[in-house]
Structure 1
Amino acid sequence: MKVIETKESNVTYTQEEAFEASLEYFKGDDLAARVWVNKYALKDSSGNLYEKTPDDMHRRIASEIARIESKYPNPLSESDVFELIKNFKYIIPQGSPMTGIGNPFQIASLSNCFVIGNDGESDSYGGIMKIDQEQIQLMKRRGGVGHDLSHIRPKGSPVKNSALTSTGLVPFMERYSNSTREVAQDGRRGALMLSVSIEHPDAERFIDAKMEQGKVTGANVSVRITDAFMQAVEKDSDFVQRYPIGAEKPIFSNKIKAKELWDKIVHNAWRSAEPGILFWDTIINESVPDCYADLGYKTVSTNPCGEIPLCPYDSCRLLAINLYSYVENPYTKAASFNFELFKKHIGFAQRIMDDIIDLELEKVNDILAKIDSDPEEDETKRVEKNLWLNIRRKAEEGRRTGIGITAEGDMLAALGLRYGSDEGISFSVDIHKLIAIEAYRSSVTAAKERGAFPIFDAEREKNNPFIKRLAEADSKLYYEMLEYGRRNIALLTIAPTGTTSLMSQTTSGIEPVFMPVYKRRRKVNPNDKNVRIDFVDEVGDSWEEYVVFHHGFKTWMETNGFDIERNYSNEELDELVKQSPYYKATSNDVDYLKKVHMQGAIQKWVDHSISVTINMPNDVSEELVGALYMEAWKSGCKGVTVYRDGSRSGVLIANDDKKDDDENNKETVLDTLFPTVRPQVLEADVVRFQNNKEKWIAFIGLIDGKPYEIFTGLSDDEVGILLPRWVNDGLIIKSKDEDGTSRYDFQYKNQRGYKTTIEGLSYKFNPEYWNYAKLISGTLRHGMPIEKVVDLISSLQLDEHINTWKNGVARALKRYIPEGTVVGTSKCSNCNSTNLQYQEGCLTCKDCGSSKCG
């Protein structure tokens, strides 16, 4: 490891100094500044900062890359590298490389992700515990981890121990998940992917495992789906699960209806965004490293986000190319793409990626030296040491890289192409085809100058579909690869860029823009003049909402003469978006099928995989989710994830275990006690009523126009219900407080069209009323008829002051009793008739016309 020895190496900065300097660097973007200072600025274990702006970080990285370059012919200089990576403009090392390159304060890997596994796919307790320890050891070095559970024998299988039969794989999912949650990574939690084959007899248990509250919360889960299973789904035929997976003579087999299990996968994904799907035969058939499967490169699982399928003990480093930066004259009719500069930079990006492998090998050697110097017994250190020896061997043999992109959405918009359009998809495919050709060309050039990866064998690869496409696209490149080999076993991916895109101030990865315009809040003094109050929080503080433009959208506005400082109305903002190239091109309105076809077409030119999410509205049907999954398979995607708006917050159902019901455990109230799924957003009515001169208010959440939950109590200034009299409806939105408990906010539009929010309905009312409201919500959620709920409330024997509230709640709910509902055994107080029905919220006698409304 190289220790920084410059004169400035002992200079440190406070968080505030670095933030202020970075805020200027990012031109006032406080989110980008805070992300960089908190996650990527060089710091020691005491929190001392050694870098003031990203320029310092980029010089640190450039220095180390240049040091490696100097070992090889035709080296890039430090200034060459700095020009490529500065300002996040062209080439962006991602995550672990950005943090770890040239970092003397951490003994950590530069790999973003790993996959681990057992030799011989052992499912002994010893083998399972070894995986657990390896996972922990990798996570403490900042790596994300994936591993497959298909080797674990199914539930009920005979075992030769005191248990007699196997518990199946679900308990081990929970073990690995818990281990992830226990490992700290500089304020981050580790990332884990667990996968299983659809052929495994416990696949359905695996698919259902995360649907129970509190289970497997520390892992993403994906199902490895075969072509045979998909064909059985299409034909609605039987499918045979077996253990061991793929065995001609399995020790256990199970015949199922493929369509029934498929419907379960689709339902759970619709409901909770998991499991993800991995089209396993496509992954294996297209995989270049699997040409070397017998040499230890058989792909078994993926990294936590699914973009890198890997063999056991292989890892990958990530780097993104900023596509937007190659658009000249963006957002004008003269916009064009600089293909020559782009091709040149792809070659440099692949070269830098190969340099990062050398830096990673140095880091792994540092880790091994640290393990050797630790005071523990050799036996205690054996698993950890063997783990890193295996990782080093894979890095040396395969030299796998992970070149990706960011700003696909902004690139297309800047060129005047709509994301998801036929023209936009065609251009994107051309871009990714060019990346593949030029990255592979650079790897072949590196093989000439530095040597091929040690196990390269052109004969093994000749029938690989990806290699055949390259040969057809560029025969000269292919023949040079036959002659000189290639420096890297596999090269390409498209990862989610997350914080990288925040700092490059672009759209993320391959995704479209999330929103071109959104709102933030700033606290205001309500007594100040000319202050607009849009939001009052749970402690009564006032906030003003202000518009924030996506950086690309802002550039479009400036380029086309729109005033970015003006305070636009919602209607004016909508009209602006309609005029822009981002119209109908956001994550929520891109055509779903078009996005799947785009992913499949681009996948043909990505030798690893693509991390992409299909965003869908809350009311989308399960059938459409299933149709998209089917289309993704047919389109050649290697994996797919669907996110239905609000589904994450409605994932969980009740445990059988009872939990304490107290003020600090509000999640128990509406999420755990009642075993139903509450959508994130509910339409709501506001009902006001008065009893004994006391003013009351009820917020009634509705599903299909029927009451589902109620928040109610006294309406006065003390509880903070500052709601204008003209507001009669709105939304109840479920969210999370910082301590993880649920909060329910009421949101309405004020008379100027701005959204105003009252936070924490569950906090604002007297706890006594709140407890009874919980019980009423429980009966509503279980589907008790409204008239029965009203009868139940009316029959409660309560103290006099609660009776006042009780009567008001009953009156509020009566309005939802369907017209013509027959009451049953109740009698008219006027004529004693039992022919009573509810009409317009009033109990009406159909014989004499007498009506009782309260």
Structure 2
Amino acid sequence: MEQGLPEFGVCNLGHFVLSRFYDKENNDVLWNDLERAVRIAVRLQDNIIDYTPYFLEENKQVQLSERRVGIGSMGLGTLMIQLGLRYGSDKGNEFIDKLYKFIAKTAYEASMDYAEEKGAFPKYDYEQFIQSGFMKRLLKEFPHLKNKLKKQGIRNVTLLTQAPTGSTATYINNIPLFRKLFGGSTSGIEPYFSWEYWRAGRLGVNKQTEYIAEQYMKEHNIDNIEDLPDYFVTSMELQASDHVKVQAAIQKWTDSSISKTANCPSDFTIEQTDELYMLSYDLGLKGMTIYRDGSREAQVLATNEEDAKLESHIEAEKLKKLKESKQVENKPLIQKRPKRLYGFTDKVGFSYGDNFGRAYVTINMKDGEVWEVFVSTKIKEVSSLAKALGLMTTKLLRLGGASDNLQQAIDTLTYDQTMGTLPYAIAGILKDIQKEKFELEVKTSNNEGKKFELAECPNCGEKAYDKGNCICSACGVSKCN
């Protein structure tokens, strides 16, 4: 969970790129720059609360009464390598404690100052506010904040969150100028995954090499990654307990949610997992996530190309194999439409130009197959297009010349379309039906060779009743309803 929230709660998140604050000349942190950035971040995130167009009035009321923000970081792994500190070591954790304590203290001082300027958040109550474990720790470490808090109050109910920032950090790390100036950025509070790895994405699988290791090897005439210094450490080279200790050091100075993964080798045992959770409990962690290498088929990052896969890649592979193993049935090219068909209607949202609209998509089924599609909308500018889309899709489903007309219709609707358009929305519904059919076929094909058979429907008498899914594909009756 990225952020724990109350009912109708809202939180806007922002993150520092810590490698940006590396002081190369003194091999330290640019503490003055970081302090200024934290204070600006608190004001920026607080202003966003007032400028946000809330979809629900309940969200607006809750957020304006709490003014909840979540300021975090990315690039911790990069900064520690720049400083020559090994991630997960005792010395490294001492620095982490110092760094995040500084950020917490600065953020809270800033929020108190803004409360004096603009007012405390409406639900602020001093006696209740200082009861949390975090506030007791902060006020014990910085006693001068207590009088400030009593006198001025505080602008925001929470200020600090450590989110995963995977996509954002990947984007930043792929900007050549940023890498050149600041060395790149790891995601969230994580170390580097590997110096060379394969990343699975929507556009396929591509190989990536970490810039910071590549540059160090060039500058020091190193040919082998194994010869990098000890502080060049990756997530899988660390002990799982090292990950937990880093989380404990950062969580100590985080008032809200925190995202951190303890990477474990593929042979990590149940007993070792139990020990890891007990260590987490003893260190006072709010929660923890472990990932045992190879425990899932889908793995976004992998050291081998063949292991880097998304869930969608795996589903596509299974669907392809299933299609190849099945013989294409010889059906007559044109089949007469029955007098009565049953189906369902979905309400979908879509964009057209700079506007947003809604349409109703009706899907009628016959013998478990999609038979026809009707699309209607009250928006005059696109109503003709909607009807034409429904007609075109129906023609493809009934008269298409492919071995899989459903897939042909999906491919045609999504071709050269972006997410959010009406054709893409219709294709999404067809994909859901395709997936349900595929899961049913896989389930029945793995049923120890037993042939899947439809039962006689108690309503219409047709042999079209699917007991497993509790519905008749002929008349649409369902006992579950």
Structure 1 residues 650 and 347 mapped into 2: Cα distance closer, same or farther (>3 Å)? closer
Structure 1 residues 353 and 734 mapped into 2: Cα distance closer, same or farther (>3 Å)? closer
Structure 1 residues 628 and 320 mapped into 2: Cα distance closer, same or farther (>3 Å)? same
Q: 1:574 aligns with which of 214, 225, 235?
A: 225
C-alpha contact (below 8 Å) 2:18/2:75 kept by paired residues: yes
Q: 2:30 aligns with which of 338, 362, 366?
A: 338
Cα distance in 1 between the residues matched to 2:64 and 2:309: 47
Structure 1 residues 734 and 351 mapped into 2: Cα distance closer, same or farther (>3 Å)? closer
Residue in 2 aligned with 1:430?
98
Q: CA deviation at 1:644?
A: 1.1
- 1:618 matched to 2:266? The reply is yes
Q: CA deviation at 1:581?
A: 3.0
Q: TM-score, normalised by structure 1?
A: 0.34
Cα distance in 2 between the residues matched to 1:410 and 1:337: 13
Cα distance in 1 between the residues matched to 2:115 and 2:42: 12
- 1:509 matched to 2:185? The reply is no
Cα distance in 2 between the residues matched to 1:436 and 1:494: 12
Q: CA deviation at 1:766?
A: 9.4
Cα distance in 2 between the residues matched to 1:312 and 1:520: 36
Give CA deviations for 1:205-239 in whole Å, capped at 9, x if unaligned: xxxxxxxxxxxxxxxxxxxxxxxxxxxxxxxxxxx
Letter in 2 for 1:581: Y
Structure 1 residues 357 and 644 mapped into 2: Cα distance closer, same or farther (>3 Å)? same
Cα distance in 1 between the residues matched to 2:212 and 2:7: 41
Cα distance in 2 between the residues matched to 1:447 and 1:737: 46
Structure 1 residues 580 and 555 mapped into 2: Cα distance closer, same or farther (>3 Å)? farther
Any residues of structure 2 matched to 1:516-555 within 5 Å, and which? 516-518=195-197, 548-555=208-215
Residue in 2 aligned with 1:475?
143
Cα distance in 2 between the residues matched to 1:476 and 1:396: 28
Any residues of structure 2 matched to 1:715-794 within 5 Å, and which? 740-741=314-315, 743=317
Structure 1 residues 553 and 457 mapped into 2: Cα distance closer, same or farther (>3 Å)? same
Give CA deviations for 1:104-130 in whole Å, capped at 9, x if unaligned: xxxxxxxxxxxxxxxxxxxxxxxxxxx
Cα distance in 1 between the residues matched to 2:94 and 2:275: 23
- Matched residues, percent identical? 32
Cα distance in 1 between the residues matched to 2:326 and 2:272: 43
Structure 2 spans left out of the alignment, 5+ residues = 174-184, 328-441, 448-481
Give CA deviations for 1:663-709 in whole Å, capped at 9, x if unaligned: xxxxxxxxxxxxxxxxxx9xxxxxxxxxxxxxxxxxxxxxxxxxxxx
Cα distance in 1 between the residues matched to 2:283 and 2:154: 29
Cα distance in 2 between the residues matched to 1:734 and 1:581: 27
Q: TM-score, normalised by structure 2?
A: 0.59
- 1:308 matched to 2:3? The reply is yes
C-alpha contact (below 8 Å) 1:493/1:610 kept by paired residues: yes
Q: CA deviation at 1:552?
A: 2.4
Q: 1:448 aligns with which of 98, 113, 116?
A: 116
Letter in 2 for 1:348: I
SS at match of 2:69: coil
Structure 1 residues 638 and 766 mapped into 2: Cα distance closer, same or farther (>3 Å)? closer
C-alpha contact (below 8 Å) 2:243/2:261 kept by paired residues: no
Structure 1 residues 739 and 550 mapped into 2: Cα distance closer, same or farther (>3 Å)? closer
Letter in 2 for 1:313: F
Letter in 2 for 1:513: Y
SS at match of 2:234: coil
SS at match of 2:194: coil
Structure 1 residues 650 and 474 mapped into 2: Cα distance closer, same or farther (>3 Å)? closer
Give CA deviations for 1:452-504 in whole Å, capped at 9, x if unaligned: 11121112223332112221222222211110000001111100001110122
Any residues of structure 2 matched to 1:681-692 within 5 Å, and which? none
Residue in 2 aligned with 1:347?
39
Cα distance in 2 between the residues matched to 1:321 and 1:734: 29
Structure 1 residues 580 and 444 mapped into 2: Cα distance closer, same or farther (>3 Å)? same
Give CA deviations for 1:57-82 in whole Å, capped at 9, x if unaligned: xxxxxxxxxxxxxxxxxxxxxxxxxx
Q: CA deviation at 1:767?
A: 8.7
Any residues of structure 2 matched to 1:303-452 within 5 Å, and which? 306-329=1-24, 335-360=27-52, 363-364=53-54, 367=55, 388-452=56-120
Structure 1 residues 359 and 766 mapped into 2: Cα distance closer, same or farther (>3 Å)? closer
Q: CA deviation at 1:408?
A: 0.8
Letter in 1 for 2:24: N
Residue in 1 aligned with 2:464?
none
Cα distance in 2 between the residues matched to 1:335 and 1:456: 41
What value does the CA root-mean-square deviation take over the aligned residues? 3.5
SS at match of 1:351: helix
Structure 1 residues 634 and 451 mapped into 2: Cα distance closer, same or farther (>3 Å)? same
Residue in 1 aligned with 2:330?
none
SS at match of 2:288: strand
- Count residues in correspondence: 313
Q: CA deviation at 1:352?
A: 0.8
Q: CA deviation at 1:739?
A: 5.8
Letter in 1 for 2:80: L
Cα distance in 2 between the residues matched to 1:442 and 1:409: 26
Residue in 2 aligned with 1:500?
168
Structure number with the bigger relative contact order (C-alpha 8 A, sep ≥ 6) is 2
Cα distance in 2 between the residues matched to 1:610 and 1:509: 9
C-alpha contact (below 8 Å) 1:735/1:742 kept by paired residues: no
Q: CA deviation at 1:547?
A: 6.8
Cα distance in 2 between the residues matched to 1:309 and 1:732: 36
Cα distance in 2 between the residues matched to 1:351 and 1:733: 44
SS at match of 1:639: coil
Any residues of structure 2 matched to 1:108-127 within 5 Å, and which? none
C-alpha contact (below 8 Å) 1:327/1:338 kept by paired residues: yes
C-alpha contact (below 8 Å) 1:414/1:581 kept by paired residues: no
Any residues of structure 2 matched to 1:826-841 within 5 Å, and which? none
SS at match of 2:97: helix
C-alpha contact (below 8 Å) 2:298/2:314 kept by paired residues: no
Letter in 1 for 2:253: W
Residue in 2 aligned with 1:609?
257
